[in-house]
């Protein structure tokens, strides 16, 4: 018997959505049966269907943003930005498909032609996260559908209502219901979907721990595509910044946007020892001004709650561990209401903490690390198994060139926050941040595979060497 699933609003604790777990085997079988007809539709028809999807989302933008805000707890302005990103993804994906998987005709030997075209994989599973429960899975699903794949989508069990809403928009646009399906459920349903041998690939956004488990599992089936988009322990290096106020603003945006629940959020602020105090003081004063409130509050908050009380508990425990191991608290991680997952922005100097944990603290916690020179700053930035985002604030163009050349990350910025990567560029990382299959503009790469064909209008062949003279062969 299928289990039940309930979603609660983080900001209020009110029940938002309830439903039952989906049947993975039935969904994959239906997708498998429906896929050939969808793949056979002309590319222009699939693209036009996606444009209708964008229009459907645009027509329900207010409802979409409201649901996103209520289920994730993010401020309404930020939820609206996410809903708009869902809409904008269509045009970006159309352009990316044309550029990344374009058909090409080349000249071959003996007057033949060489054609390079792309085919869809078949049935792709998509596992979505809770922090951007519409934008991030949509970033997999739209390119997959354009390429001609069928999709079985499991939203995060913490944001099932958004997943259901998003899937309904695809259907309203004309995508057949069996071609894109939403299967609700918790981790066990996700495991069942990933282990179903009738999927042709899995597109994942989530934690490094889950991604590593999937990588081990898919090692036994190299015939299936696996695209992993995981988190980061991202460094923000501020060095010789001439504008302290601007540097502090970039640090706050990097660390505390989305309540720190972005995979690209700055977790570590690396600064020059002895010259750090004005910057850290400016960051702390700006953090004190941050409004933390429910999504629809007036004035609009900068931050909402983290996703649930369990996440808030884990963050508080991690913060206490850092302070207990020698971290100097600059701003505490306070929880104004123990019954709700609202947290205040926290800053802690962990320079003296030995064996600092290389962990992604997925919340509003910024760790300050003081170093003596820029070489040490680079070493500290790379002192992580992750490699998603890194940013340098300050310095000269020559210093940025040195930073870019030596820091290990897939997103490297200068005088910009670590987060807010553009959708019209590739997005991904190295190490525990991904498996070299970047998403965003490059999602087209893992949604179809290239096929090379040598073609001639008539059969012509000869063997020039290695054959005996036919006259020498006795009858």
Q: 63 and 10, same structural domain? A: yes
Tokens of 403: 């930073």
Q: 177 and 39, same structural domain? A: yes
Q: Is the pLDDT at 215 greater than 60, yes or no?
A: yes
Domain assignment present for 35: yes
* Domain span at 196: 4-230+434-455
What average pLDDT does range 324-347 have in this prediction?
Answer: 98
Q: 398 and 345, same structural domain? A: yes
Query: Distance between CA 261 and CA 361 in Å, rounded?
Result: 9
3-state secondary structure (DSSP) of residue 6: strand
Cα–Cα distances in Å, from 136 out to 85, 203, 291, 396, 419?
9, 10, 26, 34, 14
What average pLDDT does range 426-452 have in this prediction?
Answer: 96
Residue partners of 55: CB distance under 8 A and separation at least 6? 173
The pLDDT score that the predictor gives to residue 475 is: 53
Alpha helices (H) along 104-186: 135-147, 160-173
What is the CATH number for 376? 3.40.309.10
Query: Distance between CA 181 and CA 278 in Å, rounded?
Result: 53
452 CB-contact burial (10 Å; exposed 0-12 / middle 13-18 / buried 19+) = exposed
**The last residue of a domain, from among 384, 414, 444:** 414
Residue partners of 431: CB distance under 8 A and separation at least 6? 384, 385, 386, 387, 408
Q: 367 and 342, same structural domain? A: yes
What average pLDDT does range 302-317 have in this prediction?
Answer: 98
Query: Distance between CA 394 and CA 430 in Å, rounded?
Result: 25
Q: 41 and 80, same structural domain? A: yes
Can you count the helices (H) and strands (E) in the chain?
14, 19
pLDDT digits (tens, 9 = 90+) for 171-211: 999 999 999 999 999 999 999 999 999 999 999 999 999 99
- Is the distance from CB of 111 to CB of 455 less than 8 angstroms? no
Domain assignment present for 22: yes
The pLDDT score that the predictor gives to residue 461 is: 81
- Is the distance from CB of 28 to CB of 312 less than 8 angstroms? no
pLDDT digits (tens, 9 = 90+) for 3-32: 899 999 999 999 999 999 999 999 999 999
Q: 359 and 441, same structural domain? A: no
Q: State the helix-helix crossing angle for 76-100 and 61-72, rounded to 10 degrees.
A: 110
Q: 265 and 215, same structural domain? A: no
Domain assignment present for 475: no
Name the strand (E) or helix (H) holding 35: helix 24-40
Query: Distance between CA 10 and CA 233 in Å, rounded?
Result: 25
User: How many domains, in total, are found in the chain?
Assistant: 2
Tokens of 43: 């590319």
ω before 62 within 30° of 0 (cis)?
no
Is residue 229 annotated as part of the catalytic site, yes or no? yes
The backbone torsions φ and ψ at residue 416, rounded to the nearest 5 degrees and listed phi first, read -135, 160
Domain assignment present for 427: no
Higher-pLDDT residue of 347, 102: 347
Residue 470: band (very low, low, confident or very high) from pLDDT cuts 50, 70, 90 = confident
Cα–Cα distances in Å, from 144 out to 3, 74, 108, 439?
29, 28, 31, 12
Q: 87 and 8, same structural domain? A: yes
Residue with tokens 């060139």: 401
Residue 110: band (very low, low, confident or very high) from pLDDT cuts 50, 70, 90 = low
The pLDDT score that the predictor gives to residue 111 is: 67
Q: 114 and 190, same structural domain? A: yes
Residue 121: CB atoms within 10 Å: 22
Tokens of 67: 């649901």
- Which residue among the candidates 263, 360, 380, 447 is catalytic per the annotation? 263
- Which residue among the candidates 229, 360, 380, 447 is catalytic per the annotation? 229
Residue 168: band (very low, low, confident or very high) from pLDDT cuts 50, 70, 90 = very high
pLDDT digits (tens, 9 = 90+) for 445-461: 999 999 999 888 888 88
The pLDDT score that the predictor gives to residue 299 is: 95
Full strand arrangement of the beta sheet holding 201-205? 180-182, 150-154, 123-127, 201-205, 225-229
Tokens of 233: 């322990």
Domain assignment present for 79: yes
The DSSP symbol for 300 reads P
Domain assignment present for 423: no
Query: Distance between CA 33 and CA 411 in Å, rounded?
Result: 39
Q: Reduced to 3 DSSP states, what percent helix, strand and coil does the chain have, rounded to the nearest 5?
A: 40, 20, 40
Q: Which residues pair with 434 in a beta bridge?
A: 229
What average pLDDT does range 311-318 have in this prediction?
Answer: 98
Residue partners of 418: CB distance under 8 A and separation at least 6? 234, 236, 254, 264, 265, 266, 389, 390, 391, 411
Query: Distance between CA 226 and CA 194 in Å, rounded?
Result: 10
Q: 219 and 293, same structural domain? A: no
Q: 144 and 259, same structural domain? A: no
Domain assignment present for 425: no
The pLDDT score that the predictor gives to residue 474 is: 63
The DSSP symbol for 244 reads H
Name the strand (E) or helix (H) holding 86: helix 76-100
Written as one string, the DSSP assignment of 275-290 is S-HHHHHHHHHHHHT-
Q: 242 and 223, same structural domain? A: no
What is the CATH number for 99? 3.40.605.10
The pLDDT score that the predictor gives to residue 176 is: 98
Q: For all residues of the chain together, what is the average pLDDT?
A: 96
**The last residue of a domain, from among 382, 414, 446:** 414
Name the strand (E) or helix (H) holding 353: none
Query: Distance between CA 19 and CA 402 in Å, rounded?
Result: 52
Q: Is the pLDDT at 97 greater than 90, yes or no?
A: yes
Domain assignment present for 273: yes
The pLDDT score that the predictor gives to residue 68 is: 98
């Amino acid at each position: 018997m299928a289990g039940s699933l309930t979603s609660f609003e983080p900001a209020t604790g009110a029940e938002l959505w309830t439903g039952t777990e989906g049947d993975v085997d039935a969904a994959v079988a239906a997708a498998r049966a429906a896929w050939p007809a969808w793949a056979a539709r002309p590319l222009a028809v699939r693209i036009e269907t996606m444009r209708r999807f964008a229009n459907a989302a645009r027509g329900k933008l207010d409802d979409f943003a409201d649901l996103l805000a209520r289920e994730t707890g993010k401020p309404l302005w930020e939820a609206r930005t996410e809903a708009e990103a869902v809409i904008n993804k269509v045009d970006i994906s159309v352009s990316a498909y044309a550029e990344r998987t374009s058909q090409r005709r080349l000249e071959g030997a003996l007057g033949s032609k060489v054609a390079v075209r792309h085919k869809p994989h078949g049935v792709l599973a998509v596992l979505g996260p809770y922090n951007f429960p519409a934008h991030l899975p949509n970033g997999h699903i739209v390119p997959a559908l354009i390429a001609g794949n069928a999709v079985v989508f499991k939203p995060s069990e913490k944001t099932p209502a958004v997943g259901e809403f998003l899937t309904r928009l695809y259907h309203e646009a004309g995508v057949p219901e069996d071609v894109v399906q939403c299967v609700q459920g918790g981790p066990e349903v996700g495991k069942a979907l990933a282990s179903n041998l009738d999927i042709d690939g899995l597109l994942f956004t989530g934690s490094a721990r889950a991604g590593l488990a999937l990588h081990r599992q898919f090692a036994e089936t190299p015939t299936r595509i696996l695209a992993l988009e995981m988190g980061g322990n991202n460094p923000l290096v501020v060095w010789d910044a001439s504008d302290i106020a601007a540097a502090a603003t970039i640090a706050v945006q990097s660390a505390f946007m989305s309540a720190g629940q972005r995979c690209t959020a700055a977790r570590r602020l690396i600064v020059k020892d002895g010259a750090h105090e004005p910057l850290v003081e400016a960051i702390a004063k700006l953090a004190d001004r941050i409004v933390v409130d429910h999504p629809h509050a007036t004035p609009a908050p900068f931050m909402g709650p983290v996703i649930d009380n369990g996440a808030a508990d884990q963050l508080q425990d991690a913060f206490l561990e850092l302070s207990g191991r020698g971290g100097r608290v600059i701003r505490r991680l306070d929880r104004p209401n123990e019954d709700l997952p609202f947290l205040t922005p926290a800053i802690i100097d962990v320079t003296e903490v030995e064996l600092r944990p290389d962990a992604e603290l997925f919340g509003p916690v910024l760790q300050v690390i003081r170093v003596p020179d820029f070489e040490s700053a680079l070493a500290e930035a790379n002192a992580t198994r992750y490699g998603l985002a890194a940013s340098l604030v300050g310095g000269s163009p020559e210093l940025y060139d040195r930073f870019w050349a030596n820091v290990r990350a897939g997103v490297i910025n200068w005088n910009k926050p670590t987060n807010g990567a553009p959708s019209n560029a590739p997005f991904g990382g190295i190490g525990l941040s991904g498996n070299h299959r970047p998403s965003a503009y490059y999602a087209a790469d893992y949604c179809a595979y290239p096929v090379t064909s040598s073609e001639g209008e008539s059969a012509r062949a000869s063997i020039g060497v290695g054959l005996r003279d036919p006259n020498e062969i006795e009858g």
